[in-house]
Amino acid sequence: MNSNSDNPKVGAAFQKAVAEWFQNEYKKPFVLEKKIPIGFSECEKKDHKFDIVSEDDTFAIECKCYTWTETGNVPSAKMEFANEAAFYLPFLPDTYEKYIVMSYSKHEKRKETQAEYYYRTNKHLLGSTKVAEYDVKSNTFKVVG
């Protein structure tokens, strides 16, 4: 079990692994922590930092490295950050492919992975944003829903 002080390191390693997967899959460079101006009008736009963005500005990805609680409950407070990502991604132009990529997390008390749960309970917030799960151990990627 990791302590909370390990969370930033674990999240950063997950973000890097997801970026590498996208680079290998799409054969193009991706950058971490890229700021992109978002907003309704040009004069009111503000920079928002996205976790991973392709250099050609065709992909924007937010990463969420969460697991079920030990007892199989939803990490509710953390899920709010996934909803925050779902809020910001639609401000990008439609030319972007938008993803929320969650770490693969399964619990014996649950019939679905955490990404499947998130998609099922929040698809009304997602619009064109795709939810996917990435398993670092097996290097597998799956779009959910």
pLDDT digits over 61-85, tens only? 999 998 888 888 777 778 888 999 9
Q: Which residues pair with 134 in a beta bridge?
A: 103, 141
Give the range of the structural domain holding residue 105, as residue numbers without chain letter: 4-144
Helices (DSSP H) in 3-131: which residue ranges? Answer: 7-26, 76-88, 114-122
Mean pLDDT (whole number) for 88-100: 95
d(CA 137, CA 43): 44
Q: What is the pLDDT of residue 74?
A: 77
pLDDT at 7 over 90: no
pLDDT per position as a tens digit, 97-138: 999 999 999 988 889 999 999 999 999 989 999 999 999 999
CATH number for the domain harbouring residue 30: 3.40.1350
Q: In total, how many domains does the chain have?
A: 1
Q: What is the pLDDT of residue 104?
A: 94
pTM for this one?
0.90
